[in-house]
Structures are given as C-alpha cells and as structure tokens.
C-alpha cells in the first residue's frame, strides 16, 4: 500500500506541470507576456525552497517546488523574447530586493531562515507581475494561477514533516496564486470583457 503522502506529492507535481502548460501555450500564441524578472526570481527561489523543504523533512510535499523551479526557468528563458518588455523602476527595485534576499539566505545557511527569506523574496518578486496583471489582465493565463493554487494545496498534506520550514512557502504560494486569480478576475470584469481562461 502506498503512503498517501507519496500519492499527494505525485499529484501535486503533476498539477505543477499541468498548471504551467496553458501558460506556455498562451505565451507561444502571443497572448500571455510573462515578466522576465518575476520568472527568473521564481525559478531561483523554488530551487532554494525545494532544498530547504527537503532539508526540513518535507518529503513528497517538496517535490512540487523542484518541478516548478524547472518550469519557471523555462518560462524565464522564453520570456526574454516573448515576455513583457516594459520595465519600470519598481520592477528593478523588486528584482534587486529579491536577489538580495537570496544572497542573505546564502549567508544564514539555515533551512528555516531560507524559507522565510524565500517567502519574502517571492512576495517582492511577484510585485511586477501583479502590477502588469492589474494594468493588462489579459496578458496572464488565469487557469495557470488557479491550478497553481491547487498544486500548493495538494502539496501541503503530502509533507513528511509539518513545520514552519516545510509549510510556510507552500502556504504563501497558494495565497499568492489565489490573490492573482482574484486580481485578474476583478480587473477583467472592470474592463468589461468576457474572461478567457
């Protein structure tokens, strides 16, 4: 008999792949325009989160962070040619702050400190995408963020150990993806167009 955590971990990892498939599709169709700064930082912090969760005993619940890190790198690379080209000062400040958070994690060399810094870094790195989503809500793929919320929610009960180190980042990504879904839905409604999923 399989451990339910393994089954949930596999399902969360599959949702990780599935959640970004529509995003990549829309990116190649020219509909979605990813913000390069956000996606590069998300790739880096998911690698850090994965290793910190593994070190903290996260088990199968940590797998999704590894899968998402790979996918974020793919999107980040493609975003250089197919993504958002307009950068404002706030984007650069958030990017610098996110990289500073990653450097501080290297100095601390502690899984809990890493997760706290990764979560703060993720919040900062998300600002350019939230800003762009508010201004141009049809340049993001709504279904990817909805599935991202589900991905994190399925990964939480798959964790081998429940501690701040293993839970914090997954809980934050579920909340962040949910807030992005709400932002996209509200802005699309305000603009008076039918929401495309």
DSSP 56: T
User: Which has the closest alpha carbon to 36: 93, 74, 89?
Assistant: 74
For the entire predicted model, the pTM comes to 0.78
Which residue is associated with the tokens 């350019």?
Answer: 128
The pLDDT of residue 132 is 86
Query: Rounded to whole angstroms, how far apart are CA atoms 180 and 197?
Result: 13
Which residue is associated with the tokens 């990116």?
Answer: 27
Report phi then psi at 75, rounded to 5: -65, -40
Query: Rounded to whole angstroms, how far apart are CA atoms 32 and 98?
Result: 23
The pLDDT of residue 150 is 93
Domain ranges of the chain: 4-191
The pLDDT of residue 195 is 47
- Return per-residue pLDDT of the chain as tens, 197 residues: 568 888 888 888 898 888 888 888 898 998 888 888 788 888 888 887 888 788 888 888 888 889 988 988 999 899 888 877 777 777 677 677 667 766 776 777 777 887 888 888 888 888 888 988 999 899 888 998 999 899 999 999 988 888 898 899 899 999 999 999 999 999 999 987 554 44
Query: Rounded to whole angstroms, how far apart are CA atoms 44 and 122?
Result: 10
Query: Rounded to whole angstroms, how far apart are CA atoms 64 and 11?
Result: 9
The pLDDT of residue 183 is 95
79 close to 32: Cβ distance less than 8 angstroms: no
143 close to 154: Cβ distance less than 8 angstroms: no
Which residue is associated with the tokens 């601390």?
Answer: 108
């Amino acid at each position: 008999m399989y451990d339910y955590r393994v089954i949930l971990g596999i399902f969360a990892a599959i949702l990780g792949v599935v959640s970004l498939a529509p995003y990549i599709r829309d990116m190649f169709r020219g509909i979605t325009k990813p913000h390069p700064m956000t996606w590069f930082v998300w790739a880096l912090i998911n690698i850090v989160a994965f290793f910190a969760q593994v070190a903290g005993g996260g088990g199968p619940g940590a797998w999704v962070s590894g899968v998402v890190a790979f996918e974020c790198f793919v999107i980040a690379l493609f975003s250089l040619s197919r993504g958002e080209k307009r950068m404002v000062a706030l984007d650069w400040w958030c990017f610098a702050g996110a990289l500073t958070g990653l450097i501080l994690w290297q100095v601390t060399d502690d899984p809990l400190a890493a997760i706290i810094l990764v979560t703060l870094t993720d919040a900062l790195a998300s600002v350019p995408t939230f800003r762009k989503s508010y201004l141009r809500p049809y340049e993001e793929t709504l279904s990817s963020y909805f599935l991202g919320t589900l991905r994190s929610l399925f990964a939480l009960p798959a964790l081998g150990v429940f501690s701040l180190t293993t839970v914090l980042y997954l809980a934050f990504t579920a909340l962040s993806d949910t807030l992005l879904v709400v932002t996209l839905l509200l802005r699309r409604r305000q603009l008076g167009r039918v929401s495309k999923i």
